[in-house]
Structure 1
Amino acid sequence: MHEIIYMRTDYEPWWMFEGWEDKIMSRHEFSSTENAQSYLESVKNDFSRRFSNQQQKNAAFSCYWNEEETEYCENCEEYLQIFHGLIWLVNGQPNTSF
């Protein structure tokens, strides 16, 4: 099973810190690699138009952000960058290759 996950958080998606699942905004499941890849490419194209910065880490992780999108962290007492992350999971694990 393939899953494409969209998360919004103050760190890049590849860190997958404890509790990262709480930051999930949407999750889409696919039975085939082709359908998952097609959906992911469509979301990446949309995000590329909406966000001025992006970074990839192998096939599993994509990260998008705009410099001006920050949120104040009370515990840190500073503003943190907000990242929009995409994760491609295959059977619950990051997809590191096609």
Structure 2
Amino acid sequence: MYEVIYMKADYEPWWAFEGWEDHILERVSFEKEEDARLYLDNRLTEFRRKFPKEESREDKFWAFWSVKEQCYCESCEDDLQIFHGIIWKTIE
């Protein structure tokens, strides 16, 4: 089984900090790898059109962002970047 996960947080998806799953906005599962890859490719294309910045890791994590999208952190008294993360996950 395969999953494509979309999360939105003030850190990139490869960090997977405790509670990262609370930031999931969409989780789509597939039985066939080719269906999952097609969905992943479509989502990546969509995000590349929407966000000017992109970084990826290990061919399974993608982060997209715009410097205009930030949130204020009261505890650190600073603006934090918001990241839109895509995660490719294989479930055995």
Aligned to 1:30: 30
**What is the identity, as a one-letter code, of the residue corresponding to 1:2?**
Y
Aligned length: 92
Equivalents in 2 of 1:47, 1:23: separation in Å?
Answer: 17
Equivalents in 1 of 2:37, 2:56: separation in Å?
Answer: 15
Aligned to 1:95: none
Equivalents in 1 of 2:81, 2:50: separation in Å?
Answer: 16
Q: Give 1:23 shift.
A: 0.3
* TM-score, normalised with respect to structure 1: 0.90
Aligned to 1:81: 81
Tell me the percent identity.
47
* TM-score, normalised with respect to structure 2: 0.96
Q: Give 1:56 shift.
A: 1.1
Q: Give 1:59 shift.
A: 1.7
**What is the identity, as a one-letter code, of the residue corresponding to 2:77?**
E
1:29-72 deviation digits (Å, cap 9, x = unpaired) = 00111111110000000000000000111221011000110000
Q: CA RMSD in A?
A: 1.0
Residue segments in structure 2 that go unaligned for 5+ positions in a row:
none
Aligned to 1:13: 13
